[in-house]
Amino acid sequence: MSPHLEREVEQEDPALRQFTTNVEVVNISRGGMSVECSERLREEKVYTAKIFLHSAVFHVTCRVVWTLDDGSGRRFRSGVKFVQMNHNTAHDLASYLQECATDLGRKLRLRMNTARTRALFNEV
């Protein structure tokens, strides 16, 4: 490889780097989830997400519907809508949610495990 080409490889364009962030899942349903993270997720932006729930991993495509700042600019909460997932993932997620749900009279509530549930977001 010529020295000129080596320099080009070393000088990566920051604009071409893909945005990736870890998030904490606050709440999840069949249609989307609420997440917290230290990075602002841009509204209307589409991400692929890898959600780690207990021993299961779910791969979905989601769109950010809203984002709120905690006031300090260091923590953000976002609501995301699932816009694409394959049939098996949808079925497995529904089964997982059913296992975690408790019937409290007329209200169905999800029991999130005490350990933090995480997801990895990648910008599409």
User: What are the pLDDT tens digits along the chain (124 aa)?
Assistant: 444 434 344 444 454 456 788 898 888 888 999 999 998 999 999 999 999 877 788 899 999 999 999 888 889 999 999 999 999 999 988 888 877 766 544 455 555 554 567 888 888 8
The neighbour count for residue 37, using CB atoms within 10 Å, is: 18
Q: What pLDDT sits at residue 10?
A: 43
70 found inside a domain = yes
5 found inside a domain = no
Q: What pLDDT sits at residue 118?
A: 81
What HEC string does the chain produce? CCHHHHHHHHCCCHHHCCCEEEEEEEEECCCEEEEEECCCCCCCCEEEEEEEECCEEEEEEEEEEEEEECCCCCCEEEEEEEEECCHHHHHHHHHHHHHHEEEECCEEEECCCCCCCEEEEEEC
71 found inside a domain = yes
Return d(Cα 85, Cα 112) in angstroms, integer.
Answer: 22
75 found inside a domain = yes
Q: What pLDDT sits at residue 103?
A: 53
87 found inside a domain = yes
Domain CATH code at residue 61: 2.40.10.220
Q: What pLDDT sits at residue 65?
A: 97
Question: Containing domain of residue 29, as a range?
Answer: 17-123
Kindly report whether the global pTM for this prediction surpasses the value 0.75: no
Per the structure, the count of domains in the chain is 1
